[in-house]
Chain A
Amino acid sequence: MLEMLSYDFMQRSLWAAALVGAICSMIGVFVVLRGLAFVGAGTAHAAFAGVTLAYLVGLPPLPLAILFGLATVWVTGVMEEKGQMKLDVSIGILYTATMALAILFIGLMKGYNAEVYGYLFGSVLSVTPEELRTIWILGFIVLCIMVVFSKELYFIAFDQEMAEASGVPARQIFFLLLSLIALTVVVSLKTVGAILVFAMILIPASTAYQLTHSLSHMTAYSVVIGIVCAVGGVMLSYAWNLPSGPAIVLLATTLFFLSALFSPKRLKRAAAL
């Protein structure tokens, strides 16, 4: 098993998986608590549309993925704020619209492009040194911003109106959170793919939610679970020759069901009844 660590591509894969696991699971805490689960899914598909457009016109995929992701979350955020439409409705429309755009762009390409499908399903084992460097830089920026604004992010997750009434610039922090979700999705696209990145945001945080009554503990548990699932999934995929993205997500899902089954919160509640 340890021989895998002697390969450069495996070292890169494990680093990429650990970093993506950490970022997704940390932003996931705010996504789960603020009820923004669908935003993660919608943003992932919007970013994928950006990737396909980039390949179609011959541009680097990252800037367009960021542009599509940010545009989607900002449009939905503004529409909700102005009371024009609920967040889940507007993200649902943009989700399907951007997915339709992605399929259209793929249809316009000449021939089959394996790299594009790598962004859809994830290909952590083929992460290049340049891609790993990009993941490190973007991931570091996202993590730093989350740590710096963590108290405000926790407060708007608890009660945004109360946060604003207490003197926290809640509106700006909400848009910062939406932007961080978009950036996290883009950072993770190559590793777990547009379809499964949503699971990496949601599942470790939901697993941690089962285990504790404390915000700080939930965040710590979520990050540990995210890293363990991402790194463990890559190792399993190497050992059993499985596709890496599904291996990561299915390992996370298994942990989620185990935590739901043996949740101290639920067991305590059941004992109290």
Chain B
Amino acid sequence: MGTPIIRFSHATFGFPGVIALKDITLEIAEGEFVGIIGPNGSGKTTLCKAVLGLMRPLEGSLQIFDCSCEELRCHHRARIGYLPQKGRLDQNFPITVLEAVMMGRYGALGLFRRPAKQDREIALQALANVGMQDHHDTALGHLSSGQQQRVLIARALAQQPQVLLLDEPTTGIDITTQHSVLDLVRRLHRDLGLTVLLVTHDINMIRPQVDRMVLLKTRLFAAGAPEAVLKLDILQQVYGKDLVITEKDLIIVEDYHHR
């Protein structure tokens, strides 16, 4: 395992009167592929926001790239490529694919500097990495859901990040596209040496892909190799009667799939 680049130490996150994550102690090493799972409201998105430096711990500490999240500056944030949950994208927003991907360069460029030819090349390379180079002039809203996810992953890659943070990247897209998006993430992890944090509800889909899983329900219930985390007694503690495990070892969580 590589050097730890994200360190939670007894960290608690939330808002006044509401605790979203409590007493989290966790290390993410450079080059790891970590799946973050848990039921609705378990604190997965809060964990994402914490890693992005958008939330500070109420108690404990969080270190990212060897600096505390209170000291996290814009250039640190630019080292984390982020794919937010789907559904926030305005389909009518007038933006081409290349314009959207170029936005990935803005944080790294900083204020006052204009994107140069080199930035455009980085953006086009990012599009090539996700197989969308032929669509650079297309309106983002004209693409299918899966293609839009690829473009937004390219936007994150254009930051030339060390860490790729994906919040529910397969929600709302068909099963074939879900597999192709996950295969793409796996390939990017392998080829570019990225540290990947993938938040998802779909335990079965990511089980064969990730090095490690983190199971949350306000607290950290388990962290380790998928076979160590996906044990019946652990899962039942977290999902309760919503959990169904089929004969083929498929894990079905009722609260997610039946809504």
- Minimal Cβ-Cβ distance residue in A for B110: A167
Check B139 for interface membership: any CB of A closer than 8 A.
yes
Contacts of B82 in A (CB 8 A): 162, 165-166
B78–A166 contact, CB under 8 A? yes
Assuming A33-B93, A165-B52, A169-B74, is B142 touching A213 (CB within 8 A)? yes
Which residues does A use to contact B, with CB under 8 Å? 33, 148-149, 151-152, 154-155, 158-159, 161-169, 209, 212-218
A167–B77 contact, CB under 8 A? yes
Expressed in whole angstroms, the Cα–Cα distance for A220 and B103 within the complex equals 19
Check B107 for interface membership: any CB of A closer than 8 A.
yes
Assuming A33-B93, A213-B139, A214-B94, is B100 touching A158 (CB within 8 A)? yes
Main secondary structure of the interface of B (DSSP, over half): mixed
Distance in Å: Cβ of A199 to nearest Cβ of chain B: 21
Check B95 for interface membership: any CB of A closer than 8 A.
yes
Contacts of A216 in B (CB 8 A): 99
Contacts of A214 in B (CB 8 A): 94-96, 99, 139
Per-residue CB proximity of B71-94 to A under 8 Å, as 1/0?
A: 000111110101010001100011
In the complex, 29 of the A-B residue pairs with CB atoms within 8 angstroms, ordered by the A residue number, are A148-B112, A149-B111, A154-B103, A155-B103, A159-B88, A159-B89, A161-B54, A161-B84, A162-B82, A163-B103, A165-B84, A166-B82, A166-B103, A166-B104, A166-B106, A167-B75, A167-B76, A167-B106, A168-B74, A209-B94, A213-B94, A213-B96, A213-B141, A214-B95, A214-B139, A215-B94, A215-B96, A215-B99, A216-B99
Contacts of B112 in A (CB 8 A): 148
Per-residue CB proximity of B14-42 to A under 8 Å, as 1/0?
A: 00000000000000000000000000000
Using A167-B77, A218-B94 as known contacts, list a sample of 20 further A-B pairs with CB atoms less than 8 Å apart, ordered by residue number in A.
A148-B112, A155-B106, A158-B93, A158-B100, A159-B89, A161-B88, A163-B103, A164-B52, A164-B77, A165-B77, A166-B77, A166-B104, A167-B74, A167-B78, A167-B159, A209-B94, A213-B96, A214-B95, A215-B94, A217-B94
Check B114 for interface membership: any CB of A closer than 8 A.
yes
Expressed in whole angstroms, the Cα–Cα distance for A152 and B77 within the complex equals 15
Which residues does B use to contact A, with CB under 8 Å? 52-54, 74-78, 80, 82, 84, 88-89, 93-96, 99-100, 103-104, 106-109, 111-112, 114-115, 139-142, 159
Assuming A159-B84, A168-B74, A169-B111, is B99 touching A152 (CB within 8 A)? no
B106–A165 contact, CB under 8 A? no
A166–B100 contact, CB under 8 A? no
Assuming A155-B106, A166-B104, is B95 touching A213 (CB within 8 A)? yes
Which of A155, A167, A212, A215 is the most central at the interface, judged by chain B CB atoms within 10 Å of its CB? A167
Contacts of B88 in A (CB 8 A): 159, 161
Expressed in whole angstroms, the Cα–Cα distance for A217 and B94 within the complex equals 9
Distance in Å: Cβ of A267 to nearest Cβ of chain B: 14
Contacts of A215 in B (CB 8 A): 94-96, 99
Contacts of A161 in B (CB 8 A): 54, 84, 88
Contacts of B54 in A (CB 8 A): 161, 164-165
Expressed in whole angstroms, the Cα–Cα distance for A55 and B80 within the complex equals 53
- Minimal Cβ-Cβ distance residue in A for B161: A166
The 6 closest A-B pairs by CB, nearest first: A167-B107, A213-B139, A167-B78, A167-B77, A166-B107, A167-B74
Contacts of B74 in A (CB 8 A): 167-169
Distance in Å: Cβ of A139 to nearest Cβ of chain B: 21
B76–A151 contact, CB under 8 A? no
Expressed in whole angstroms, the Cα–Cα distance for A168 and B54 within the complex equals 12
